[in-house]
Structure 1
Amino acid sequence: MINVVFLLLVFFLMTSQLAPPEPIEVTPPKAEGEDGNAVQVILFMGADGTIAFRDTTGEAALAAFAAEAGDAADPPLFRADAGAEAKAVARVLRDLAGRGLEDVALVVAPE
């Protein structure tokens, strides 16, 4: 019985496709510039209003985030928990704007 199960397993593995084939062969163009491995600068806010950036929390996290985001090529991200109060989120965004960061993207999930 084990032989039959093994043969069926091998048969299904050999005949199945894990990914659909591409309709045509495409070689992407090469470009000079950044290698694409840039680290995104992200500020986190928990449901209780706790602010965190890397290994710092609170006011130190805001200061470190503002310093690093000012030097970043990509716009910084702000990931707030869905349970966080809107006033707290607005307060942090206003504080970041006061520190010179006016282009901060708020990360949301699609419905």
Structure 2
Amino acid sequence: MNIRRPRQRQARESIVPMINVVFLLLIFFMISARITPPEPFEVTLPTAREAEPPVSEATLYINRDGLPGYQGLTGVPAMELLVELRDKRDPLQVRGDAHLEAAKLAALLKELARAGFVRVELMVSE
């Protein structure tokens, strides 16, 4: 009589330790993560265009003290000439000094908006 031994099945490896490790990692990342508050509304950020020439032909220069310059004039006469000569719908290129205070730039931009300028291109270096 030929009695065969039954084949021994290989024991299946338990995945419980792996599940435990995954849950521990999940808990660790949840605890250590910094949750940011939701944005109040969706904002589309402006993009910088590389290797594209500026659209504007007119350039307003601003020194570090906030003094505007346009076509060889500085100060109030420069602003008056700019308002007289420029079409307000065309973009105006503004080149401000790197050390110009933001408050002075904001005041100048507000003044340009009051004068009727619709679009201003603020130039930066790469």
Asked if 1:79 is matched to 2:98, the reply is no
Give the RMSD, CA atoms, in angstroms.
2.1
Task: Give 1:67 deviation, angstroms.
Answer: 2.3
Q: Give the counterpart of 1:52 among 49, 69, 78.
A: 69
**Unpaired segments of 5 or more residues in structure 2?**
1-55
2:61 and 2:81 map into 1 onto residues whose CA distance is 12
- Larger Rg belongs to: 2
2:69 and 2:86 map into 1 onto residues whose CA distance is 14
Alignment of 1:1-111 (within 5 A): 40-70=57-87, 74-110=90-126
CA deviations over 1:52-90 (Å, ceiling 9, x no partner): 10121111111211222216x852101000101101111
Counterpart AA for 1:102 = V
Counterpart AA for 1:84 = L
Residue 61 of structure 2 contacts residue 96 of structure 2 at CA under 8 Å; is this kept in 1?
yes
2:124 and 2:84 map into 1 onto residues whose CA distance is 24
Residue 69 of structure 1 contacts residue 75 of structure 1 at CA under 8 Å; is this kept in 2?
no
Residue 95 of structure 2 contacts residue 124 of structure 2 at CA under 8 Å; is this kept in 1?
yes
2:118 and 2:92 map into 1 onto residues whose CA distance is 10
**Unpaired segments of 5 or more residues in structure 1?**
1-38
Identity, % of aligned positions: 30
2:122 and 2:85 map into 1 onto residues whose CA distance is 17
Counterpart AA for 1:81 = D
Residue 79 of structure 1 contacts residue 106 of structure 1 at CA under 8 Å; is this kept in 2?
yes
TM superposition outliers: structure 1 runs of 4+ over 3 Å: none
2:80 counterpart SS class: helix
